[in-house]
Structure 1
Amino acid sequence: MAGGRRLMARDGARPSYDPAGPDHALRAALQDLRTGRWMAMRTLLAETTPWWQWTQRTQVLAAAAAGTDVVRAWLTEEPDSAHAVVMHARVGVERALRARRERHRRTHELWIEAWDAAQTATVAAPRDPVPWVCLLALAQLDPEQRWEEHRAAAPEPMLPPGPWGLLAEADRRDPFNREAHHRMLQFLYARGGSGRLAEAAGYAQWAAGQAPPGSALHLLPLYVRVERYRRDSGHDAALDLHWVVEEADREARRALHSWFERTDPAERALPDLNHLAHALWGALKFADAARVFEAIGPYFTPPPWMYRTPDRDRAVEVFVQARDRCRAAAEGSRP
């Protein structure tokens, strides 16, 4: 089946967005969850051991469960389950962040509930990085940094105060945890202002510089570049040069060589693959981008492609055009 999907993708079929991507076990648990059942989720998480996979699966499951009472039913049935406690925190965080985006009147209440649930999870699962990732995610709801834990001194003098203690706790349990560092970026974005975006760029470069070969943190500068483009779209006539300047080219090549070529294909997150393909395509590195498109296969993620068109529903068309252009260039360069 996987080979058939890959063939379809190479033949030019439109890719699809699927939060589970190639993780078929996760997809099955999601389908079960959407019917109001939690046993498949419970079994899947019991079988999930690497922290990178645990972090990824709990995030995707929480996004699907946030509009339901499935996790609450699980926790009620098994109140001593550390996995259920962690998922309860995950769902609480997802609801609080959604409420903030929608400017819901219960945002503060949901925030406090999620914070309490995450604190409980740090006790129930003391070796798990995810409860600390949850607390980091909630930090973006405090852009004024009124909470003391959100204004700790940075480990580097050029970086701003922030939830560094929370990041350190996540890193202590899972060094270079991908989501933890993305949550830190989101906190820096939430502080607002063009100067603050420069802080985010500095942070991304610092984190990537600390990361070992194969770490997904090498892609952080690509995410910041997309965020800058998103904010400037429609206001800057020079945006076409945004992707081909020397710095953008260097960031794309560094991510290719330090991450894509040095990590296990099973550990590559779809958003990372899409951001790398997008960066290489924008930097006119078509042959290299074609390799990444091949790794993406029949799936895609709307960001970053949705920011390259005024009509965000046409993101998949931008993706397909970029993929086909890169494949054609790569095939034309072969002897």
Structure 2
Amino acid sequence: MPPQRDVHGTPDDMMTVIVSPVGADAALRTALEDLRLGRYAATRDLLGMTGRHWALRTSRSQLLAAGGEPGVFKMWRDEEPESPDAAMMWARVLSRAAVDAFRSGKSEHIVSRATRMAAQACQRASDLVPACPVPWIDRLQLTQLPFRPETFDPHAPARPHPWDMLPAEDVRRHGMYHRGPWPLLHEADIRDPGSREAHHRMRQTLMIHSGLAAAMDFSFWLVSKRLFAPELLMLPLYSIMDKYRREHGHGQVGALHFWQRAQVGHYACEAYDRWFAAIPADEYPWLSMADLSHLAHALVATGENQRAAAVFRAMGPYATAQPWQDINASLGRSRDWRDWFVTTRAATLRRHPAPAA
């Protein structure tokens, strides 16, 4: 059974934007609303229907963990201790909580305890469904913390050393010499080849521990390979946005010209032509709304308005705050970013209306 979706046509010129990472996934929205009311039945049903569609299971569980109350997932885990879905979601929630504890400046003791609990939950989830990539993605998320990354790999003692380096042949062939949690990425990748979230987690970890240049190297290296998951062509645009935040996040001179660089246009068109343009329209509702928002912005900013119009139509009335919010703030604009988004979308769609059926 295909995922349930909202039915929205092309957005009207000045339709109010609905800020939501969920987009048109109506079943996911219902589950999130149920979680906020302290109930997990809709989430249990949703994950049951999602089954072993690993990419969809990954994206839905990520949004459920971000939008639901942790206590509801604990209740589900306690009431159904043998449920693989409950165990997976509990690992999701604890991994997120450990990273949040560190970022918010909690004590070393609290962060260490939260991290141990998350790692144990990941192992439990992996034991119940060894084929599921999500616990390995959670382990990748935990490598953002200030602990030795190999401690999150239950197979570390049996792996070649150095643990955090690609095989020497790959280093020579591709020039990817940065150290990182490559074994964890590999484990997620063999379960869900080209896992979107796994590669984003790897990029984030490299940026935290090795710097922006390493994260950008990874993004550009990845898209230079023969990709089996074209949505990974979006990674350079996220790295470029990170570079923008660093260089122009406080309105430094040249912010407007940043997006006119040939590099931005190249990667935006590559993502559009080799990923988005090949996707059937009936699959648009299950694309990452964050990816579509970043792609639409990059295309508009580089003057690729016809391509941008197609992306705006695929988004319907939905959008995510990023990258629009940070760019709007960096330019010192007094109006809300949503006003900028709506007027940009409307102008683009008026110039490039949908082709006649």
TM-score (norm 1): 0.90
Amino acid at match of 1:6: G
Partners in 1 of 2:152 and 2:66 — Cα distance? 28
Partners in 2 of 1:316 and 1:273 — Cα distance? 16
**Number of residue pairs matched by the alignment:** 328
Partners in 1 of 2:152 and 2:57 — Cα distance? 29
Q: What is the aligned counterpart of 2:56 among 29, 34, 53?
A: 53
Secondary structure of the residue aligned to 1:13 is coil
Per-residue CA deviation, residues 233-256 of structure 1 (Å, 9 max, x unaligned), is: 236422322212111111010000
Amino acid at match of 2:166: A
Alpha-carbon shift at residue 266 of structure 1 (Å) = 4.2
The farther-off stretch of 132-141 and 230-239 is 230-239
How is 1:58-137 mapped onto 2 (pairs within 5 angstroms)?
58-65=61-68, 67-105=69-107, 106-137=110-141
1:139 paired residue number: 143
Partners in 1 of 2:285 and 2:228 — Cα distance? 16
Alpha-carbon shift at residue 146 of structure 1 (Å) = 8.0
2:289 paired residue number: 270
Q: What is the aligned counterpart of 2:203 among 177, 181, 185?
A: 185
1:161 paired residue number: 179
Conservation of the 8 A alpha-carbon contact between 2:265 and 2:302 = yes
Runs of 4+ in 1 over 6 A off after TM superposition: none
Amino acid at match of 1:327: L
Amino acid at match of 1:131: P
Alpha-carbon shift at residue 98 of structure 1 (Å) = 1.9
Alpha-carbon shift at residue 212 of structure 1 (Å) = 3.5
Conservation of the 8 A alpha-carbon contact between 1:211 and 1:218 = no
Is it true that 1:316 corresponds to 2:319 in the alignment?
no
How is 1:154-233 mapped onto 2 (pairs within 5 angstroms)?
154=166, 156-157=170-171, 158-159=175-176, 160-191=178-209, 196-210=211-225, 212=227, 215-233=230-248
Conservation of the 8 A alpha-carbon contact between 2:194 and 2:232 = yes
Instruction: Structure 1: state its 5+ residue gaps.
Output: none
2:159 paired residue number: none
Partners in 1 of 2:265 and 2:288 — Cα distance? 21
Alpha-carbon shift at residue 270 of structure 1 (Å) = 0.5
Conservation of the 8 A alpha-carbon contact between 1:89 and 1:117 = yes
Alpha-carbon shift at residue 211 of structure 1 (Å) = 5.2
The farther-off stretch of 35-44 and 110-119 is 110-119
Q: What is the root-mean-square deviation of aligned Cα atoms in Å?
A: 2.5
How is 1:275-294 mapped onto 2 (pairs within 5 angstroms)?
275-294=294-313
Amino acid at match of 1:265: Y
Amino acid at match of 1:91: V
Per-residue CA deviation, residues 31-54 of structure 1 (Å, 9 max, x unaligned), is: 111111111111110110311110
Instruction: Structure 2: state its 5+ residue gaps.
Output: 157-162
Conservation of the 8 A alpha-carbon contact between 1:26 and 1:44 = yes
TM-score (norm 2): 0.85
**Distance of aligned partners of 1:143 and 1:241 in 2 relative to their CA distance in 1, 3 Å threshold:** farther
**Distance of aligned partners of 1:145 and 1:168 in 2 relative to their CA distance in 1, 3 Å threshold:** closer
Conservation of the 8 A alpha-carbon contact between 1:96 and 1:110 = yes
**Distance of aligned partners of 1:144 and 1:45 in 2 relative to their CA distance in 1, 3 Å threshold:** closer
Conservation of the 8 A alpha-carbon contact between 1:89 and 1:121 = yes
Per-residue CA deviation, residues 175-196 of structure 1 (Å, 9 max, x unaligned), is: 000000000111012126xxx2
Per-residue CA deviation, residues 66-121 of structure 1 (Å, 9 max, x unaligned), is: x4311111111111111111111001012112222222232332122112211221
